[in-house]
Chains A and B, each alone.
Chain A
């Protein structure tokens, strides 16, 4: 029951279940799952039940309710919540409670969603395995020896573990799509600016986006519709109407649609057989639904990862300067003799290794004498990458390819090898650099029963098209209906 928001809405309207019963079920499921998976950093039992109760009362009184009334939703711990801690899974913000809600959180509340808690993540969203969290790892519900991916590992695992039907993640280089692929769920990274970043604790401001994670594209459509739209407090938010995504997913007929296959990515080094097979299967499914499949190239793909790993750390080094112990967050108590030592000690203690590594890389890339060679050059390459996407979308309506080179890897396998970890982003960072929307959806399973994802990428603001094609794909496949054995 907890795997479909649409079902929960229907059951409530039919009077078959109350919001409080749903919330209780979700809280029980979280309690049962936490010791095994540790998807959450914080669970708001009282808050969830209070909101659920109010939904029930208002329903009984015949009042109008929001589009997510009584639906349990998990929120990644990088999004500000006024009534819950917002830690970014960092020691630095262990006790931080923001005095305000992120725009997306505000919109969830306005939609009468029941926010059950905050999900675990890589520290400050830097990582691809949720292993850099200061508060412990998250385990993949399909195989608890494996990572759920990252950085939105908790968000994807929370859905896969059956604790909530909807989950909010964030994606800077693949942080929604890669964990969705690893956890066998559907996750969408919207167009840059489609969803407001106000209240999203910044990692790399020009790349960060908030997006939905759920079992299916139809469920993602529901959540995206709630959170998308213009926010005057965010200058990078797009002032464009939000289409009815649910309506967009009605048709399952793909005739007339041209899908570009990123064939070259299937030959990439280190790509596993199961991933290649999933994409090949998807070609067949989509073609059967009427789509025309054409080979397409994004010529600068080999520069995606290097470009990303200059731009993202550069912005991060700046965005994370504010955590200096002076105003909020962790402040060192020992070894502090003056201002400089207060800064150094507080940051040394408050940040983990991966965060420090990226701050150092970014600081270097922006330094006088190096900025032209690194940061400014990366900006130029980014323009070329955008150009590649523009050219591709002048030929085709969507792009099809893999999400990750492999299914979920073992916990501990890459945690000491940053380069291997960074290569997890091989196929995902392009959409962030170009600012285009992309969706990861279940495309099959490998011989060990691990989920494998496929990725569709679309032109700016064509989330509706992505959801339409993903929904059609899911009408013809059952990968998204498979569940891990509890």
Chain B
């Protein structure tokens, strides 16, 4: 048997939870992790007579998301009911969008995992708004088959983003997901936390097998239950191998077997068949008579397009060129979101030293944020203050170590930079004071003088530590310069 050449064909359906305060069709809170069934009302409980009213904020977020993934926004979009019975779907239908989604025909450009210099354009068929269902908690362990239903999540706005089957490897799928997540979080459209369910991924995957100059397609499998990017990669790798083996064993192709649904077992690292979907379920979609179609004025779309701001890619490029930092550093900052980019921008411009600002932001700022469990918007050290502080370091008025003390003080107290310096008793040391301090030290350390004279200028470093013990405000750079000059003159 000749060696088989196979290509994996992957399309992803990604649900992102939109970051709205309230649900898609009622005023209930969308906060995660509240006690079960405490964030519900007649509308999201689907009680008789209750009616949905569209949350405009969700529509705007969906349009922003759509524009960011290069979709067109049709002038009219409408709501449809997708009907099926399940206890976590209290109305017996989900309000979704069938034939006129809010976003259509987009793409996302990813770096080719196989070639860092090349990009791949992944088509996006559509992105549509829909309400989330509740959560079923099955207590199978008890053996009684009891199920508990939490409807807090019911009615939470989701944007389902459906890619073309343009992805060819698990690595490409990961690059696509990473890019999508970065785009959505950067825009503030979604938190994209897979653990909290605000990003959910389903993958449609099959193989194209080349044999005797023919291409044979294996049956499509939809993989669900992937709880992390790692699971997605694992499931895709596993499916590719499983489908090849299955085809070799059964010879089944896309023509002889319909789409099936598989789950991913994170522990065993295998996919396993879920309910058989030989015939596609009939959801009996029809336009929801309780909601009017939405007309989105072109001017509004343009306003939203203008307000999108820079994309993560644009931000990365700008930080490199404007502040002279490396691609790596720019990437770390951009990955923290637009608020961090803005913080860095301000700190870099105020200090006039992009590289120093970049290093401080990545180390001191991010560490302190983590320690304080806060975000950059509510951080105690304003970007301007950091810039001012770093300018003093640049000017030689403060050492890095002393600046760090000042930074810590600012992070804990409501103070200006000057007040912090004063509070810490930091005074810049007069150069005559340094001259006499160095003279004393040289006298006490003849070995150092000798070594320097012998050409080992590094030996002067020993004096710096001693000088700082005697006077913590002594600028090490100055101590070093004065010491070298005095030795040369002696």
Whether A327 touches B45, Cβ cut-off 8 Å, given contacts A235-B51, A236-B292, A322-B90, is yes
Distance A375 CA – B286 CA, assembled complex (angstroms): 9
- B282 x A235 contact (CB < 8 A): no
- A318 x B51 contact (CB < 8 A): no
- B286 x A322 contact (CB < 8 A): no
B51 contact set on A, CB distance < 8 A: 197-198, 233-236
Q: Does A128 contact B (CB under 8 A)?
A: no
In chain A, positions 230-266 with a C-beta closer than 8 Å to chain B are 232-236
Residue from A199, A204, A206, A343 within 8 A of B49 (CB atoms): A199
Q: Does A152 contact B (CB under 8 A)?
A: no
Q: Does A321 contact B (CB under 8 A)?
A: yes
- B85 x A318 contact (CB < 8 A): no
- B286 x A318 contact (CB < 8 A): yes
Q: Does A39 contact B (CB under 8 A)?
A: no
Whether A236 touches B42, Cβ cut-off 8 Å, given contacts A99-B47, A318-B92, A343-B85, is no
Q: Does B46 contact A (CB under 8 A)?
A: yes
Distance A200 CA – B50 CA, assembled complex (angstroms): 8
In chain A, positions 316-375 with a C-beta closer than 8 Å to chain B are 317-318, 320-322, 324, 326-328, 338-339, 343, 363, 366-368, 371, 375
How would residues 74 to 117 of chain A score, 1 for a CB under 8 Å from any chain B CB and 0 otherwise?
Answer: 00000110000010100001001011101000000000000000
In chain B, positions 350-381 with a C-beta closer than 8 Å to chain A are none
A205 contact set on B, CB distance < 8 A: 289-290
A73 to chain B, nearest CB (A): 18
- B286 x A371 contact (CB < 8 A): yes
- A206 x B289 contact (CB < 8 A): yes
Q: Does A454 contact B (CB under 8 A)?
A: no
- A201 x B286 contact (CB < 8 A): no
A451 to chain B, nearest CB (A): 31
- A198 x B47 contact (CB < 8 A): no
- A235 x B42 contact (CB < 8 A): no
Whether A98 touches B53, Cβ cut-off 8 Å, given contacts A318-B286, A367-B284, is no
Distance A205 CA – B52 CA, assembled complex (angstroms): 12
B46 contact set on A, CB distance < 8 A: 322, 327
Interface residue total, chain A, C-beta cutoff 8 A: 44
Q: Does B29 contact A (CB under 8 A)?
A: no
How would residues 20 to 47 of chain B score, 1 for a CB under 8 Å from any chain A CB and 0 otherwise?
Answer: 0000000000000000000000100111
Distance A295 CA – B50 CA, assembled complex (angstroms): 42
Distance A267 CA – B85 CA, assembled complex (angstroms): 47
Whether A200 touches B49, Cβ cut-off 8 Å, given contacts A236-B292, A363-B284, is yes
Distance A201 CA – B50 CA, assembled complex (angstroms): 8
B475 to chain A, nearest CB (A): 67
Residue from B48, B85, B285 within 8 A of A324 (CB atoms): B85
Q: Does B149 contact A (CB under 8 A)?
A: yes
Distance A86 CA – B49 CA, assembled complex (angstroms): 10
The residue in chain B whose Cβ has the minimal distance to the Cβ of A124 is B48
A79 contact set on B, CB distance < 8 A: 49
- A324 x B92 contact (CB < 8 A): yes
The residue in chain B whose Cβ has the minimal distance to the Cβ of A368 is B282
- A198 x B286 contact (CB < 8 A): no
- A321 x B47 contact (CB < 8 A): no
Whether A327 touches B48, Cβ cut-off 8 Å, given contacts A205-B289, A368-B284, is no
How would residues 193 to 233 of chain A score, 1 for a CB under 8 Å from any chain B CB and 0 otherwise?
Answer: 00001111110111000000000000000000000000011
The residue in chain A whose Cβ has the minimal distance to the Cβ of B43 is A233
A56 contact set on B, CB distance < 8 A: none
A377 to chain B, nearest CB (A): 13
- A198 x B292 contact (CB < 8 A): no
Q: Does A314 contact B (CB under 8 A)?
A: yes
Q: Does A171 contact B (CB under 8 A)?
A: no
- B292 x A318 contact (CB < 8 A): no
Q: Does A315 contact B (CB under 8 A)?
A: yes
Residue from A98, A206, A318 within 8 A of B48 (CB atoms): A98
- B50 x A198 contact (CB < 8 A): yes
Whether A102 touches B49, Cβ cut-off 8 Å, given contacts A235-B54, A235-B291, A324-B92, is yes
Q: Does B472 contact A (CB under 8 A)?
A: no
The residue in chain B whose Cβ has the minimal distance to the Cβ of A376 is B286
Most buried by A among B46, B285, B286: B286
In chain B, positions 123-155 with a C-beta closer than 8 Å to chain A are 145, 149
Distance A368 CA – B284 CA, assembled complex (angstroms): 6
A371 contact set on B, CB distance < 8 A: 284, 286
How would residues 407 to 442 of chain B score, 1 for a CB under 8 Å from any chain A CB and 0 otherwise?
Answer: 000000000000000000000000000000000000
- B53 x A232 contact (CB < 8 A): yes
A198 contact set on B, CB distance < 8 A: 49-51
Residue from B45, B52, B92, B285 within 8 A of A321 (CB atoms): B92
B91 contact set on A, CB distance < 8 A: 321-322
Distance A79 CA – B81 CA, assembled complex (angstroms): 23
Q: Does B83 contact A (CB under 8 A)?
A: yes
B48 contact set on A, CB distance < 8 A: 80, 86, 88, 93, 96, 98, 201-202, 322
B380 to chain A, nearest CB (A): 42
Residue from A88, A98, A318, A375 within 8 A of B83 (CB atoms): A318
B81 contact set on A, CB distance < 8 A: 318
The residue in chain A whose Cβ has the minimal distance to the Cβ of B79 is A235
Most buried by A among B52, B282, B291: B282
Most buried by B among A86, A200, A315: A315
- A367 x B282 contact (CB < 8 A): yes
A232 contact set on B, CB distance < 8 A: 53
B145 contact set on A, CB distance < 8 A: 338
A345 to chain B, nearest CB (A): 13
B26 to chain A, nearest CB (A): 9
B54 contact set on A, CB distance < 8 A: 235
- A202 x B49 contact (CB < 8 A): yes
A364 to chain B, nearest CB (A): 10
Q: Does B87 contact A (CB under 8 A)?
A: yes
The residue in chain A whose Cβ has the minimal distance to the Cβ of B287 is A379
Distance A235 CA – B87 CA, assembled complex (angstroms): 26
- A321 x B290 contact (CB < 8 A): no
Q: Does B229 contact A (CB under 8 A)?
A: no
Whether A201 touches B49, Cβ cut-off 8 Å, given contacts A366-B284, A371-B284, A371-B286, is yes
A346 to chain B, nearest CB (A): 11
- A318 x B284 contact (CB < 8 A): yes
Distance A102 CA – B47 CA, assembled complex (angstroms): 12
A317 to chain B, nearest CB (A): 8
How would residues 65 to 100 of chain B score, 1 for a CB under 8 Å from any chain A CB and 0 otherwise?
Answer: 000000000000000010101010011110000000
Distance A234 CA – B93 CA, assembled complex (angstroms): 19
Whether A321 touches B49, Cβ cut-off 8 Å, given contacts A206-B289, A236-B290, A327-B90, is no
B149 contact set on A, CB distance < 8 A: 326-327
Distance A80 CA – B48 CA, assembled complex (angstroms): 8
Distance A375 CA – B83 CA, assembled complex (angstroms): 15
B285 contact set on A, CB distance < 8 A: 366
Most buried by A among B91, B284, B285: B284
B155 to chain A, nearest CB (A): 14
B50 contact set on A, CB distance < 8 A: 100, 198-199
B291 contact set on A, CB distance < 8 A: 235-236
Distance A429 CA – B149 CA, assembled complex (angstroms): 41
A86 contact set on B, CB distance < 8 A: 48-49
Distance A202 CA – B45 CA, assembled complex (angstroms): 15
B282 contact set on A, CB distance < 8 A: 367-368
Distance A314 CA – B83 CA, assembled complex (angstroms): 12
Residue from A235, A339, A375 within 8 A of B290 (CB atoms): A235
B284 contact set on A, CB distance < 8 A: 317-318, 363, 366-368, 371
Binding site for A on B (CB under 8 A): 42, 45-54, 81, 83, 85, 87, 90-93, 145, 149, 282, 284-286, 289-292
Q: What are 30 sample pairs from A and B whose C-beta atoms fall under 8 A apart?
A: A80-B48, A88-B48, A93-B48, A98-B42, A98-B47, A98-B48, A99-B42, A99-B47, A197-B51, A200-B49, A202-B49, A205-B289, A205-B290, A235-B53, A235-B54, A235-B291, A236-B51, A236-B291, A236-B292, A315-B289, A318-B93, A321-B91, A322-B92, A327-B87, A327-B90, A328-B47, A343-B85, A366-B285, A367-B284, A375-B286
Task: Give the 4 A-B residue pairs with the shortest CB-CB distance, closest first.
Answer: A321-B92, A205-B289, A206-B289, A366-B284
